[in-house]
């Protein structure tokens, strides 16, 4: 490798080793570990866009898995929502746990899109109700659909076609962002910036509790409170619901700390920062 590498790559490499070790020793589920490692590899790939530069960095780390396997993990993370659905369907209909190659083969024949069709999963009403009580209302949902907003009830919402990342954000925000990369980072960064500039006065954000990722750390840097639900959130879509393979977190941004703690304690451990 030539030149000086970003210091953040060292942190990414450390996190990859930790998560991969936890995955191999069954401290986290295999699929959860795959998603997290894949997401971290995607972060490294954005910092090292050249194939040779990324390949040299990867080979120097000796993570314990091949460059080919790393490519599979990145693809899993890129299409996390669709992969989760395929895995959950396979688990519910087959006694044998699905393998990565089998899931990727199915994925290659599956349309994967942001906020489209089977990949849309919405927040259950109790979480929306709690957020509304804390903030006094919801002015904006920047990553939504007309169906989702029937529950959220935001004064304004942006669809995938409108691309909330390029629209104005203001007031009280509810956000359940798309989990695919790089969208999850882009929405997290946009919210953190809007909170810091006070364009967004309050916000509640529901995400996976992937605490080792750069996007979660970015949100946590400016959050005023966090709730870790005791059970997995059962997301819904018309006629069905699904609990993800990992736990979630609700991060709060604003000054109503007592209200946040009071309302979200019903879901699990809640702390103000």
156-195 per-position pLDDT tens digit = 999 989 999 999 999 999 999 987 777 888 999 999 999 9
Q: Is 6 a residue whose pLDDT tops 80?
A: no
Q: What are the tens digits of pLDDT across the range 236-247?
A: 766 666 656 678
Give dist(CA 232, CA 251) in Å, integer.
15
Q: 53 Cβ partners below 8 Å, 6+ apart?
A: 1
Q: What confidence category does residue 116 fall into, taking pLDDT thresholds of 50, 70 and 90?
A: very low
Domain boundaries, the chain: 8-78, 117-272
Question: What is the value of pTM for the model shown?
Answer: 0.65
Q: Between 2.60.220, 1.10.472, 3.30.2010, 3.40.50, what CATH number should domain 117-272 receive? A: 3.40.50
Q: How many CA atoms are closer than 13 Å to the CA of 18, on its beta-carbon side?
A: 11
């Amino acid at each position: 490798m030539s030149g000086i590498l970003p210091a953040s790559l060292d942190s990414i490499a450390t996190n990859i080793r930790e998560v991969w070790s936890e995955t191999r020793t069954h401290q986290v589920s295999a699929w959860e570990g795959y998603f997290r490692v894949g997401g971290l590899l995607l972060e490294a790939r954005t910092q090292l866009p050249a194939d040779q530069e990324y390949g040299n960095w990867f080979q120097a780390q000796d993570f314990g898995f091949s460059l080919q396997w790393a490519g599979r993990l990145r693809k899993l993370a890129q299409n996390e929502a669709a992969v989760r659905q395929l895995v959950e369907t396979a688990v519910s209909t087959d006694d044998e746990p699905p393998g990565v190659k089998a899931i990727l083969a199915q994925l290659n024949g599956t349309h994967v899109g942001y906020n489209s069709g089977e990949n849309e999963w919405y927040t259950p009403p109790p979480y929306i109700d709690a957020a509304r009580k804390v903030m006094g209302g919801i002015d904006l949902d920047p990553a939504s659909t007309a169906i989702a907003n029937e529950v959220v009830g935001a004064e304004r919402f942006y669809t995938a076609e409108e691309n909330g990342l390029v629209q104005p954000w203001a007031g009280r925000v509810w956000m359940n962002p798309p989990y695919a990369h790089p969208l999850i980072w882009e929405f997290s960064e946009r919210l953190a910036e809007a909170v810091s500039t006070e364009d967004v006065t309050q916000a509640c954000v529901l995400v996976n509790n992937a605490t080792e990722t750069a996007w979660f750390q970015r949100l946590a840097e400016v959050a005023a409170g966090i709730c870790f639900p005791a059970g997995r959130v059962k997301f819904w879509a018309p006629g069905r619901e699904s609990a993800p393979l990992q736990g979630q977190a609700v991060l709060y941004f604003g000054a109503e700390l007592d209200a946040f703690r009071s309302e979200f304690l019903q879901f699990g451990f809640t702390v103000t920062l």
